[in-house]
Chain A
Amino acid sequence: MNAFRSLARAMLKGFFRDKMAFFFAVIFPLMFLVLFGGIFTDQGASKSEVIQIGAVPVLDDTPREVKASLAESLEITTSSDEKDAIEQVRKGDADAVISQRGDELVVRYSQADQVKAATVQGTFQAIVQSANIAVTGEAPRFSLSTDQVEDDSLKPIQYYTPGLMGWAIASGATFGAATNLVVWRKNGLLRRLRLAPIPTRSVVTARVAVSIAIAVVQAAIFLGVGVALFGLRLTGSWPMIVPLLVCGTLAFMAIGLLAGAIAKSEEAAVGIANFVVLPMAFLSGSFFPLDGAPGYVTAISKVLPLKHLNDGMLDTMVRGEGPAAALLPMAILLGFAIVVTAIASRLFRWDD
């Protein structure tokens, strides 16, 4: 126990004093969270820019309250140069040009941004319809009332926090185990510890405990930043992320041990770990959702531990699922850890 504690303390100090390791395990993934949080918040709020050529009586005659609600989604500027306005749409500087020929409202838009194109079309369709009704002088028979329903699709920050957190934990545990193994093998510390009157398992459990502690720190920082700065809302059994990240850490440590067992140098270990972790993060949906990905991509993602960690964390953190939703991912992560550790231990060497 004493040996376990002093080894764990030594490893933790070693990690927190290693500015590079701390940067790549905590700050770097956090930068992505800030970046993604920023990018996708702005996009949601941006308006469609519409250029009005000359007089458009249909628009000008709409009641004031309608105009006010239009201003929320459209930014209308006026211009007399129709050619230049169309050129602006073509370049993507503006989203649509409107003009009126007699009783015909003409909307010219670009399909480059499909969401804005649809918004512009729909909005002017509605304006024309209401103008038509106004002309008949009759009260409309049908009315529309709307009510929002919580849907499965998530706000960006709700999706990216678990995904990027999964990537951070995967990097931390993989790199930690890989470099630790190679450095200690090369500097002879593994052999030195072998000659100390302690069981090998106290070295292994100390390393596991340290990796889990680092993962918990990463998760705490991610959740803190997400909630405090980007309005992340935790729903469901989010405390289940603790057992989830314990299982995830074991799975990623196993990858790290395998990389460390194969690699001859620290640089090679980092290279192998990068080669595994970065594509895994993409294929597991850490950076963008895989909803539209082809079937073979989703098939590959199914064998990647990070995919299951992400699934488990999405379900319990932001999709409002109960603790049971974490059980299958945890079982898969543990199974992965056992298989890969068994392979790594076959390749393990005490010295070079």
Chain B
Amino acid sequence: MTYGDVRAVDGVSFTVAPGEFFGLLGPNGAGKTTTLEMVEGLRKPQAGSVRIDEHEPWKREPALQRRMGVQLQSSSFFERLTAREQLDTFGALYGVAAGRTDEMLEQVGLVDKADIRTEDLSGGQKQRLSIACALIHDPEVVFLDEPTAALDPQARRNLWDVLRTINDSGRTVVLTTHHMDEAEVLCDRVAIMDSGRILEMDTPAALVRGLDAPVRISLAPGTLSADDARAVAGDDAVDTDESGTTITTRDPSRVLSDLANRDALAGLSVKGASLEDVFLELTGREYRA
């Protein structure tokens, strides 16, 4: 897929199994949204093919569209309608009985906001409503484009619960995000994209293991004398400052059992690599627009 001279998506290939929660990760401009648009049927690929079961989505067959739920990047609502009216309107487009609206308001926790116009909802409430609109016809596959963009931490956690419920009920979910913690918590499998290509694709745990990054073990100040710290760490790096002692090791089990033998576990914290480290390792640290 090219825009002018830019190849927005170039040789991307992946399969999502029924019931899977699949994440497309990448920095801004990586090609996540364009990839999703091709899968949803908003764009026809210039080369290659996209299939949902036997359907080609760009043909926009109503039979397929009734099985697909889509939430687009922006909050796409009718102007000046209330939350309930939005759901009623989208429901009517999919030929859904009116009772579904109350069910969906319940599911996304907007019952008490039903008669508020969408313009007056908070960012998190809008996102939950737009997800409710995507689910109004009980679709088998759900596509979510950056559902938690621009939300505060509470609203994000809140939305994660909603997203988990969707997947737990057996639906296939494909989402794009640039929040690594989100992908780590929610996704069964993720593909990390940059410059229109998939760099890595696996479960979040496997990706983190594959990074083979050292583990940081921290202790409260005064738990370990400088000599003991050096003895425990062996060849590993030791860093002591006023916030405590930190040992960075690739053999955390040996260090931990050593510390346990010395009964020096006060204020212990163990930090392994996260998906974010994998992401930065793959996509580099330079600033993106």
B42→A6 contact, CB < 8 A: no
Q: Which single residue of chain B is at the shortest CB-CB distance from A202?
A: B93
Question: When A6-B92, A188-B74 are in contact, do A18 and B60 touch as well, CB less than 8 Å?
Answer: no
Contacts of A6 in B (CB 8 A): 88-89, 92-93
Most buried by B among A17, A188, A193: A188
In the docked arrangement, what's the CA distance between A186 and B73, Å? Answer: 11
Which residues of the other chain, A, contact B62 by a CB distance below 8 angstroms?
197-198
A129 interface residue (CB < 8 Å to B): no
CB–CB A192/B70 < 8 A: yes
The CA-CA distance from A2 to B73 in the complex, in Å, is 27
Bound CA span A17–B90, Å: 19
Q: Which residue of A lies closest to B78 (CB)?
A: A10
Q: Report how far A207 CA is from B60 CA in the complex, Å.
A: 22
Q: Which residues of A contact B72 (CB under 8 A)?
A: 188, 191-192
Contacts of B75 in A (CB 8 A): 187-188
A91 contacts the other chain (CB 8 A): no
Cβ of B123 under 8 Å from chain A: no
**How many whole Å from A151's CB to the nearest CB in chain B?**
49
Most B-side CB within 10 Å, residue of A186, A189, A195: A195
| Distance (whole angstroms) from the CB of B138 to the closest CB of chain A | 14
Given contacts A10-B89, A197-B62, A197-B66, contact A191 B76 (CB under 8 A): yes
Q: Within the complex, which residue of B63, B78, B85, B93 is in contact with A196, where a contact is CB–CB below 8 Å? A: B93
B120 CB to nearest chain A CB (Å): 12
Q: Is the CB of A14 within 8 A of B80?
A: yes
Q: In which size bucket is the chain B interface?
A: 20 to 34
Whether, in the assembled complex, A9 has its beta carbon less than 8 Å from a beta carbon of chain B, the answer is yes
List which A174-230 residues lie within 8 A (CB) of chain B.
183, 186-189, 191-198
Are B80's CB and A195's CB within 8 A?
no
Chain B residues within 8 Å of A191, by CB: 42, 72, 76
In the bound complex, residues from chain B placing their C-beta under 8 Å from that of A13 are 80-81, 85
Complex interface bits, A1-12 against B, C-beta within 8 A gives 1, otherwise 0:
011011101110
Determine how close the nearest CB of chain B comes to the CB of A27; give it in whole angstroms: 18
Q: Which chain A residues (1-39) contact chain B, with CB distance < 8 Å?
A: 2-3, 5-7, 9-11, 13-14, 17-18
Closest to B91 in A: A6
CB of A350 within 8 Å of the partner chain: yes
What would 5 more interface pairs be, CB under 8 Å, given A6-B89, A186-B74?
A14-B81, A188-B73, A192-B72, A196-B94, A198-B93
Q: List 13 A-B contacts (CB under 8 A).
A: A6-B89, A6-B93, A7-B93, A9-B89, A186-B74, A187-B74, A188-B74, A195-B60, A196-B90, A196-B93, A196-B94, A197-B65, A197-B66
